[in-house]
Amino acid sequence: MHLEHLYIETERLILRPHILEDVQASYEMNLDVRVSRYTGDGGVVPRETIERRIVEDVLGDYQKYGYGRQAVVWKATGQFIGFAGLKYLEDLQEIDLGYRLCYDFWGKGIATEAANACLEMGFNHLKLPRVIGMVLPENKTSVRVLEKLGFLFENCIEEDGMTVEVYGKQAPQNG
Ligand SMILES: CC(C)(COP(=O)(O)OP(=O)(O)OC[C@H]1O[C@@H](n2cnc3c(N)ncnc32)[C@H](O)[C@@H]1OP(=O)(O)O)[C@@H](O)C(=O)NCCC(=O)NCCS
């Protein structure tokens, strides 16, 4: 499986496929309740859960679909600061854009920078017709990121007993 398209450099960031060594940093990021509050995937979870998500889910997605959530690295220091990227959702048959950052890196436009790079790759390289973003309505920061990226609100769905807002963005014409 060729994964070259998952290596992306932006102004301040490197996006790359996840590796096993990301498990500890990812676990530490998720320990922070400010980070895990609105993620909709169980909040703070044990290290084994993070390891399974990276090794089975994310690396599995790369093999199955040729893309999946990417690690976000702060270029200046080389440190893991979170993830961003696309994920195929089998139940909805949609491709979801997600992002999560260590708290110290919030408020600097980093999620927008990373997510924008993932979207460009998805539309231009993978030729995806459309991408969605799913967010808990109270997660105003994430809603704002989706809006800045040009996503439009579509509808609400129920997932695991929670109301989730679905936003969508179509591939740009001639893009
Ligand atoms: C969501 C997250 C990735 C955003 O990262 P970030 O790098 O701080 O985002 P950006 O700086 O690119 O953009 C944030 C925007 O939200 C705005 N914002 C921040 N807090 C806000 C609030 N309470 N209400 C409304 N807007 C808010 C910021 O002002 C900014 O918009 P602006 O550029 O117009 O000023 C980060 O907060 C995070 O990791 N949260 C926990 C995980 C999570 O919730 N992920 C998304 C699940 S759907």
Span from the CA of 108 to the centroid of ligand 1 (angstroms): 9
First-to-last alpha carbon distance for the chain, in angstroms, is 25
Q: Can you give the pTM of this predicted structure?
A: 0.97
Distance CA 14, CA 102 (A): 15
Span from the CA of 2 to the centroid of ligand 1 (angstroms): 32
Average pLDDT over residues 27-31: 98
4-128 folds as: Aminopeptidase (3.40.630)
**Whose C-alpha lies nearest to ligand 1, atom 9?**
111
| Spatial contact of 96 and 134, defined as CB atoms under 8 Å apart | yes
pLDDT in tens, 129-166: 999 999 999 999 999 999 999 999 999 999 989 999 99
